Amino acid sequence: MTEVITGLRMSPLEVVVLLGAVALLLSRWFPPGARRPVALAAAAVVVLSGAVLGAVGPRWQMVPVLAGAAVVLPFAVPPVLRRRADRPPRRARWWLALPGSVVCLP
Protein backbone atom coordinates (compact mmCIF):
# COMPACT_ATOMS: atom_id res chain seq x y z
CA MET A 1 0.00 0.00 0.00
CA THR A 2 2.95 2.30 0.46
CA GLU A 3 4.63 1.51 -2.84
CA VAL A 4 5.48 4.59 -4.83
CA ILE A 5 4.15 4.99 -8.36
CA THR A 6 7.11 5.71 -10.61
CA GLY A 7 7.26 9.34 -11.68
CA LEU A 8 4.52 10.52 -9.31
CA ARG A 9 6.20 9.51 -6.04
CA MET A 10 2.75 8.89 -4.60
CA SER A 11 1.27 5.72 -3.19
CA PRO A 12 -1.88 4.38 -4.87
CA LEU A 13 -3.87 5.42 -1.79
CA GLU A 14 -2.63 8.99 -2.11
CA VAL A 15 -3.60 9.02 -5.79
CA VAL A 16 -7.11 7.82 -4.88
CA VAL A 17 -7.46 10.57 -2.24
CA LEU A 18 -6.24 13.20 -4.69
CA LEU A 19 -8.58 12.09 -7.49
CA GLY A 20 -11.50 11.87 -5.07
CA ALA A 21 -10.82 15.39 -3.78
CA VAL A 22 -10.65 16.79 -7.31
CA ALA A 23 -13.88 15.00 -8.28
CA LEU A 24 -15.58 16.34 -5.14
CA LEU A 25 -14.44 19.86 -5.93
CA LEU A 26 -15.52 19.68 -9.57
CA SER A 27 -18.86 17.98 -8.86
CA ARG A 28 -20.47 21.43 -8.57
CA TRP A 29 -19.69 22.06 -12.24
CA PHE A 30 -21.16 18.81 -13.58
CA PRO A 31 -24.56 18.76 -15.32
CA PRO A 32 -27.51 18.37 -12.94
CA GLY A 33 -28.07 14.70 -13.76
CA ALA A 34 -24.50 13.72 -12.96
CA ARG A 35 -23.94 16.09 -10.03
CA ARG A 36 -25.56 13.94 -7.34
CA PRO A 37 -23.85 10.59 -8.11
CA VAL A 38 -20.46 12.23 -8.63
CA ALA A 39 -20.66 14.23 -5.40
CA LEU A 40 -21.77 11.24 -3.32
CA ALA A 41 -19.22 8.85 -4.82
CA ALA A 42 -16.38 11.35 -4.48
CA ALA A 43 -17.36 12.11 -0.88
CA ALA A 44 -17.36 8.40 -0.05
CA VAL A 45 -13.98 7.90 -1.70
CA VAL A 46 -12.41 10.88 0.08
CA VAL A 47 -13.80 9.98 3.50
CA LEU A 48 -12.90 6.29 3.34
CA SER A 49 -9.49 6.64 1.75
CA GLY A 50 -8.72 9.66 3.95
CA ALA A 51 -9.52 7.59 7.03
CA VAL A 52 -7.25 4.79 5.83
CA LEU A 53 -4.53 7.28 4.97
CA GLY A 54 -4.89 8.81 8.43
CA ALA A 55 -4.49 5.38 10.03
CA VAL A 56 -1.46 4.52 7.88
CA GLY A 57 0.10 7.92 8.46
CA PRO A 58 -0.24 10.66 5.85
CA ARG A 59 2.72 12.48 4.42
CA TRP A 60 2.74 16.22 4.95
CA GLN A 61 2.07 16.80 1.24
CA MET A 62 -1.37 15.21 1.59
CA VAL A 63 -2.47 17.43 4.48
CA PRO A 64 -3.54 20.35 2.19
CA VAL A 65 -5.48 17.93 -0.03
CA LEU A 66 -7.31 16.46 2.96
CA ALA A 67 -7.92 19.93 4.43
CA GLY A 68 -9.29 21.19 1.10
CA ALA A 69 -11.57 18.17 0.84
CA ALA A 70 -12.78 18.78 4.40
CA VAL A 71 -13.63 22.39 3.49
CA VAL A 72 -15.43 21.43 0.26
CA LEU A 73 -17.33 18.45 1.71
CA PRO A 74 -20.02 20.41 3.61
CA PHE A 75 -20.69 22.57 0.54
CA ALA A 76 -20.77 19.76 -2.03
CA VAL A 77 -22.80 17.02 -0.36
CA PRO A 78 -25.73 18.66 1.53
CA PRO A 79 -27.15 20.44 -1.55
CA VAL A 80 -27.49 17.13 -3.39
CA LEU A 81 -28.95 15.36 -0.35
CA ARG A 82 -31.65 17.97 0.36
CA ARG A 83 -33.32 17.59 -2.98
CA ARG A 84 -37.06 18.11 -3.24
CA ALA A 85 -39.15 17.37 -6.27
CA ASP A 86 -40.83 20.78 -6.30
CA ARG A 87 -37.67 22.93 -6.35
CA PRO A 88 -34.04 22.63 -7.36
CA PRO A 89 -31.33 22.49 -4.67
CA ARG A 90 -29.75 25.77 -3.58
CA ARG A 91 -26.30 26.37 -4.96
CA ALA A 92 -23.86 29.22 -4.76
CA ARG A 93 -23.77 31.57 -7.72
CA TRP A 94 -21.19 30.60 -10.30
CA TRP A 95 -19.22 33.81 -9.86
CA LEU A 96 -18.82 33.02 -6.15
CA ALA A 97 -18.07 29.34 -6.69
CA LEU A 98 -15.47 29.81 -9.44
CA PRO A 99 -12.79 31.55 -7.33
CA GLY A 100 -13.28 29.02 -4.53
CA SER A 101 -12.93 26.12 -6.96
CA VAL A 102 -9.76 27.58 -8.48
CA VAL A 103 -8.18 28.19 -5.07
CA CYS A 104 -8.95 24.65 -3.86
CA LEU A 105 -7.60 22.83 -6.90
CA PRO A 106 -4.41 20.99 -5.88
**pLDDT above 70: percentage of residues in the chain:** 67
Q: Is the pLDDT of residue 96 over 70?
A: no
pTM exceeding 0.75: no
Q: Is residue 95 predicted with pLDDT exceeding 60?
A: no
Q: Which of 14-18, 42-46, 75-79 has the lowest mean pLDDT?
A: 75-79
Residue 58 lies in a domain: yes
- How many structural domains does the chain have? 1
Q: What pLDDT, on a 0 to 100 scale, did the predictor assign at position 99?
A: 64
Residue-range definition of the domain harbouring residue 47: 12-104
Question: Which pLDDT does position 45 carry in this prediction?
Answer: 92
Q: Report if residue 1 sits inside a domain.
A: no
The average pLDDT across 39-43 equals: 89
CA distance 88 to 5: 42
Residue 3 lies in a domain: no
CA end-to-end distance (rounded Å), the chain: 22
CA–CA distances in Å: residue 13 to residues 6, 18, 38, 51, 80: 14, 9, 19, 11, 26
pLDDT for position 94: 59
